[in-house]
Structure formats: C-alpha cells, structure tokens
C-alpha cells in the first residue's frame, strides 16, 4: 500500500554536485547516462540484455524474455534467475552512480534508527496488539520500516531484493532519488511511502510536511501490522489468527490514515486540547485525501476515537474483521 503525496509538497531539486556542474548536463541527461552505464556494467558484451536491463531500470517493467515460454521450463527458470541477478547488480550500481550527484544537503539528512521508529509506533502497537505479541511487533517494525536517506536507501533495496520482489527494490531506488529531481523522464511516483508486505519505506521529503496530523512512518508501519504474520516469528497463535491485526481488506487504507492522525492527536497534552485538535482535522489535514475522497470518513473515526475512553479499541472495532474476533480475546488488550 502507498501513502499518496499531496501536490506541491515535493522537496526542491538541487544541482550543486561538482560532477554535475562540470558536465553541464541536465538532470535527465545525467539519469539517462547513469542508467546506460549501470545496464552495460551488469551485462557486458551482451547488448540485447543490456538494452532490456536499461528498459527495466527506466520503467520497472518486465522484458519479453521474462514471460514464461512453452518448452523447457527448467532452462528458462535457470536463465531467469541469472537475469534477475544481473538486474540486482544493475540496481546496486545505479544507486552508486546516482549518489555522486546528490547535493551536500542529502548526505546530511540524519538516519532514523530502529529505536527511533519504535518510539514513534509504540503507542499504536500498545493500543492495538495483544500484550504477548507487542515486543516482537515493535522489534519487527523497527527493523522493517526504512526512512530513506543516503545511508538507508541501499539497505532498503537489499531488504526488498532478499524477498525476490525486484519491482519493490526498483521503486525504493526512485522513491529516494526522485525527491532530489534525479529520476527518468516521465516517471511520476506520486507517493510519500510504500509498503509491499515485508518492508515499508518513507521518502525524505515526507518528514518535512507541515501538516500536524501527518506521520508517514506511522502510516506505513500500520500497513505492516496487517501484512506480517506472528507465527513467522515464533509467536503462539490461536485458530483464526493470521496477522498481527486482521484488518478488513477494504479498510486497510482507512486504518493506516486513522492510525497516523490519531497518533498525533494523542501527543496533545489533555483531553480538551485533543478534542479541539481532532475537530480541526477535516480542515487542516491537508496531506490526507480530500474531504470528498475520504477525509470525512477518516475524521469521523479519529473524532470517535478521541472522544472514547479507549480510542484504539474504537479503531480496532471499526476495521478488524469481526469474524476473526469471535471466540478469542485479541480485541481486548490492556
């Protein structure tokens, strides 16, 4: 799932790299040159494959040879694995090439550590997750949510490549460099973050939004709660349990937006201030969907949670599959 960017909130591109100023190339020419070099480096001596890798680096789309053919499937699978390895190599090399053209400011963006992520998401985890799962959930969110900067982006790409989902690694690369105006011609990502099931990623400019209800780290971490399966981490599960939180499929985006906004409501000092803050959400939550596109529904649930004695219980009841709650006590957390 993806958190969509609001217009006009992108970081301004910078063009102060010594390499770029000496070349006198436009940003798009720089990107084109880096893509061509990375593709050639990954597949030397094979121009056809280099062209296919170049197209993948530019668009993320699969080449025709990646489609399963009729005939010798085992041979095709072996060749497909080798092609994927070369695409991985091309992505890593492209990151290194593009990094030379980042502005000095990009290299000074501080790293949000696993502990930092855990501190942000702890109230949500404590409010939503059953007690015997909380520490594992916190640990995994800390390890799996990447706030992209010069130090973490390559690690985030490696994490996605470890799952064999090469398309997500491609998205991470451009999610980061797009913030600095370094992206292929015509590429429009339109997102602040993304989560594909095992990991979540937040672009640098998402941390600079003026919207007081916005926290894309919490938004993407909330999505991981309905993707990750406790049994994969050695936790005891009962019949019917599958994920840390079994959010209905049609409510997953609502859930993430509400967790994001409500977490910021809880930062206010007392009930009166929290209620006033929640009541202004429809007007002031400018990075959220437009009122006619769903902000009203988010606002209703945020306000209901704020008015309640246990707001997280209100949110759980609104979005968790009720059939999964019958006969167990996951919905009752202390």
Question: In the chain, where are the structural domains located?
Answer: 15-101, 114-325
Residues 6+ apart with CB under 8 A from 143: 114
Per-residue pLDDT of the chain (334 residues; tens, 9 = 90+): 556 644 333 344 444 444 444 458 899 999 999 999 999 999 998 898 999 999 999 999 865 555 555 556 666 567 778 888 999 999 999 999 999 999 999 999 999 999 999 999 999 999 999 999 999 999 999 999 999 999 999 999 999 999 977 899 999 999 999 999 999 998 988 899 999 889 999 999 998 889 999 999 999 999 999 999 999 999 999 888 899 999 999 999 999 999 999 999 999 999 999 999 999 999 999 999 998 899 999 999 999 999 999 999 999 999 998 754 444 444 434 3
* 110 contacts 149 by C-beta, under 8 angstroms: yes
Q: What are phi and psi of 193, to 5 degrees?
A: -165, 170
* 140 contacts 228 by C-beta, under 8 angstroms: yes
Which two tokens mark 83?
A: 């092609």
Radius of gyration of the chain (CA): 22
Strand partners, 128: none
User: Closest Cα partner for 244 from 259, 260, 224?
Assistant: 224
Residue 21 and residue 18: Cα distance in Å, rounded? 5
So what's the pLDDT on residue 192? 93
* 153 contacts 173 by C-beta, under 8 angstroms: yes
So what's the pLDDT on residue 324? 43
HEC profile of 152-173: CHHHHHHHHHHCCCHHHHHHHH
Residue 146 parent element (H or E): strand 145-147
CA distances from 79 to 45, 49, 84, 110, 161 (A): 17, 12, 9, 41, 18
User: Looking at residue 332, what DSSP letter applies?
Assistant: -
Residue 181 and residue 98: Cα distance in Å, rounded? 11
User: Closest Cα partner for 34 from 15, 58, 11, 17?
Assistant: 58
Residue 125 and residue 113: Cα distance in Å, rounded? 18
Express each pLDDT in 240-270 by its tens digit: 889 999 999 999 999 999 999 999 999 999 9
- What end-to-end distance do the CA atoms of the chain give, in Å? 29
Residue 165 parent element (H or E): none
- Cβ neighbours around 171 below 10 Å, total: 21
Residue 168 and residue 257: Cα distance in Å, rounded? 22
So what's the pLDDT on residue 208? 85
* 142 contacts 112 by C-beta, under 8 angstroms: no
* 305 contacts 312 by C-beta, under 8 angstroms: yes
User: Closest Cα partner for 54 from 155, 161, 186, 184?
Assistant: 184
HEC profile of 98-110: HHCCCCHHHHCCC
User: Closest Cα partner for 224 from 333, 290, 318, 128?
Assistant: 128
């Amino acid at each position: 799932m993806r958190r969509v960017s609001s217009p006009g909130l992108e970081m301004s591109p910078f063009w102060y790299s010594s390499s770029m100023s000496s070349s006198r190339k436009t940003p798009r020419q720089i990107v084109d040159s880096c893509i061509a070099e990375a593709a050639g480096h990954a597949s030397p001596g094979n121009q056809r494959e280099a062209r296919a890798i170049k197209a993948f680096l530019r668009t993320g789309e699969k080449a025709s040879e990646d489609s399963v053919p009729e005939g010798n499937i085992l041979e095709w699978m072996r060749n497909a694995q080798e092609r994927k390895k070369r695409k991985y190599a091309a992505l890593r090399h492209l990151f290194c090439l593009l990094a030379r053209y980042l502005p000095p400011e990009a290299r000074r963006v501080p790293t949000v550590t696993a502990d930092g992520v855990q501190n942000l998401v702890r109230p949500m985890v404590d409010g939503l997750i059953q007690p015997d799962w909380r520490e594992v959930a916190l640990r995994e969110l800390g390890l799996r949510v990447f706030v992209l900067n010069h130090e973490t982006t390559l690690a985030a790409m490696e994490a996605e490549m470890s799952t064999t989902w090469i398309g997500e690694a491609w998205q991470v690369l451009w999610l980061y460099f797009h913030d600095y105006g370094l992206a292929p011609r015509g590429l429009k990502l339109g997102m602040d973050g993304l989560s594909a099931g095992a990991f979540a990623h937040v672009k640098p400019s998402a941390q600079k939004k003026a919207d007081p209800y916005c926290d894309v780290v919490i938004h993407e971490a909330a999505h991981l709660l309905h993707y990750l399966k406790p049994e994969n981490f050695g936790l005891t599960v009962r019949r019917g349990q599958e994920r840390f939180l079994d959010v209905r499929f049609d409510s997953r985006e609502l859930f993430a937006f509400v967790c994001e906004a409500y977490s910021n409501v809880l930062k206010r000092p007392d009930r009166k201030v929290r209620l006033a803050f929640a009541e202004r959400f429809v007007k002031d939550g400018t990075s959220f969907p437009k009122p006619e596109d769903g902000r009203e529904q988010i606002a209703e649930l945020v306000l209901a949670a704020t008015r309640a004695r246990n707001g997280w219980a209100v949110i759980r009841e609104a979005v968790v599959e009720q059939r999964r709650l019958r006969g167990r006590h996951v919905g009752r957390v202390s």
